[in-house]
Structure 1
Amino acid sequence: MDLRIFTEPQQGATYDTLLTVAKATEDLGFDAFFRSDHYLHMGDVSGLPGPTDAWITLAGLARETKRIRLGTLMTAGTFRLPGVLAIQVAQVDQMSGGRVELGLGAGWYEDEHKAYGIPFPKEKLARLEEQLEIVTGMWATEVGKTFSHHGTYYDLTDSPALPKPAQQKVPVLIGGTGAKRTPRLAARYADEFNAPFISIEDTKALFARVRAAAEEAGRSADDLTYSNALVACVGRDEAEVARRAERIGREVDELKENGLAGSPAEVVEKIGRYAEEAGSQRIYLQMLDLDDLDHLELISAEVQRQLG
């Protein structure tokens, strides 16, 4: 079971804070550092000192880390033109020596679009499908040849489709809980499907839909990696769990129900159930208190170690 660290910097984090967490992620043996792609905080927080851009952050981290994978859950399709995004991701992949993964979603948080003057179209999923076709198509175009796309929302003519990523194939992540269109997009474009913040039972049903869509598309369902994103709140005892829950403004019982909370043994047991009952192969641990490096150290020593 891969454990990856997943951060939400729009809630309030500087680049230096993210760099510290990314380096700890690498030093403590986790598989990857991922971040959200948002420009506005959520809930009852100030968001100070303000947002950081996902791909600028990852470009910096690409030069400051050596082993861990780097990526987004999820890049908002509304924020970037697909041709520009293909360039950005390819460049960061080169800067990292081939360690980048692209999670791409439709975009959903209307308030941040209003706050920063970003158009918020109604037909987001249809746009996402074209974006996926363009980004993956540009990367797959042979050097010396050109890429064209004439769609409903985007028109590219004779693009040189450069630069190319360092990796032969940048892994593409698609996620969400949609019943039909999302599994179909994953079956066509994704290397990994991510189930965000849902129960074991709901994960099992969702993964089954994605697997069926893959087979229907003529692809082996086992070609995809299946993962979950879940909030983490682990403590050596009940008091420590309660302190960590309070720091992130959550209730312990709710976190135990909807996330990975409790003692290391409890969390290991629940991760095991996600693997055995739902087929999850990878967990993104949503870390909401980025100043609590002891939390990372505890998970590394007492959870990751038991998962092998």
Structure 2
Amino acid sequence: MDLRIFTEPQQGASYDTLLTVAKATEDLGFDAFYRSDHYLRMGSGDGLPGPTDAWITLAGLARETKRIRLGTLMTAGTFRLPGVLAIQVAQVDQMSGGRVELGLGAGWFEEEHKAYGIPFPKEKFGRLEEQLAIITGLWGTKVGEKFSYDGTYYQLADSPALPKPAQAKIPVLIGGHGASRTPRLAAQYADEFNIPFASLEDSEKQFGRVKAAAERAGRGKDDLVYSNALVVCVGKDDAEVTRRANVIGRDVAELKANGLAGSPAEVVDKIGQYEAIGSSRVYLQALDLGDLDHLELISSQVLSQLS
């Protein structure tokens, strides 16, 4: 079971804070550092000092880390043109020595688009499908050959399809709860399928849909990695769990029901239940980025039991 740290910087985090967390992620033995791709805080709080851009952040971290994988859950398809995104991600992959992964979604938070003047099209899913075809097509085109694409929303003509990533293939993540279109897209383009903030029952159902779609697409049902993203709140005792839950504005009972909360033993057991339904990777949504002791506890008493 891989454990990865997943952050939500739009709630309020500077690049220096993210760098500190990423270095702790690496030093403490976690597999990867991931971040969301949002420009506006959600819920309470002032969001200070303001948003950071996902791929600018990851470019910086690519040069300041050595081992951990780096990626997004999920890059918003509404934020970037697919050709530009293919160049950005390939460049960051080169900068990292081949440690980048791309989670790509349709984009959904309309308010942040209004706040920063970003178009919010109605046909987001159709655009996402074309973006996936273009990005993977550009990366997969051999050096010296050209790539063209004539879609409904995007057209590319005689692209040199450069630069190339450092990796032979950058892993692509697709995720979500959709019952039909999402599994189909995952079966066609994804190396990993991620379901965010889902119960054991819902995760198992969605994994089953993706596996069935993969087989219909001519892939093996186990060709994909299956993963979960879950909020994490661990404490040495009940008082510490409650304190951490209060800091992030969450209820302990709700966190235990819908996330990974409680003592290290409770969290290890819950992760084991997700593993039993086919999940091999968990993204731990750490909401208090100033609490490095939390990461150390998870490393020493949860990760150590799963390695």
Task: Give TM class, smaller chain.
Answer: over 0.9
| 2:303 matched residue in structure 1 | 304
State the 1:221 CA deviation: 1.1
| Distance in 2 separating the partners of 1:307 and 1:141 | 39
| 1:174 matched residue in structure 2 | 174
| 1:93 matched residue in structure 2 | 93
What does 1:274-293 correspond to in 2, within 5 Å? 274-276=274-276, 278-293=277-292
| 2:224 matched residue in structure 1 | 224
Render the CA deviation track for 1:177-217: whole Å, top value 9, x for unaligned.
00000000000000000010000010000000000000000
| 1:53 matched residue in structure 2 | 53
| Distance in 2 separating the partners of 1:58 and 1:252 | 32
**Structure 2 gaps, min length 5:** none
SS where residue 84 of structure 1 aligns?
helix
SS where residue 149 of structure 1 aligns?
strand
| 2:121 matched residue in structure 1 | 121
CA RMSD of aligned residues (A): 0.3
| 2:67 matched residue in structure 1 | 67
State the 1:248 CA deviation: 0.2
State the 1:230 CA deviation: 0.1
Which amino acid in 2 is paired with 1:22?
A: A
Which amino acid in 2 is paired with 1:291?
A: G
| Distance in 1 separating the partners of 2:207 and 2:293 | 33
SS where residue 221 of structure 1 aligns?
coil
| Distance in 1 separating the partners of 2:199 and 2:244 | 21
Render the CA deviation track for 1:228-278: whole Å, top value 9, x for unaligned.
0000000000000000000000000000011000000000000000111x2
What does 1:5-44 correspond to in 2, within 5 Å? 5-44=5-44
| 1:256 matched residue in structure 2 | 256
State the 1:75 CA deviation: 0.1
Give the structure-2-normalised TM-score. 1.00
SS where residue 222 of structure 1 aligns?
coil
Render the CA deviation track for 1:257-305: whole Å, top value 9, x for unaligned.
11000000000000000111x2100000000000000000000000000
Identical positions, percent: 80
SS where residue 222 of structure 2 aligns?
helix
Which amino acid in 2 is paired with 1:143?
A: V
| Distance in 1 separating the partners of 2:93 and 2:205 | 33
State the 1:45 CA deviation: 1.2
Render the CA deviation track for 1:95-142: whole Å, top value 9, x for unaligned.
000000000000000000000000000010000000000000000000
Which amino acid in 2 is paired with 1:285?
A: L
State the 1:32 CA deviation: 0.1
Which amino acid in 1 is paired with 2:294?
A: H
Which amino acid in 1 is paired with 2:275?
A: A
State the 1:42 CA deviation: 0.1
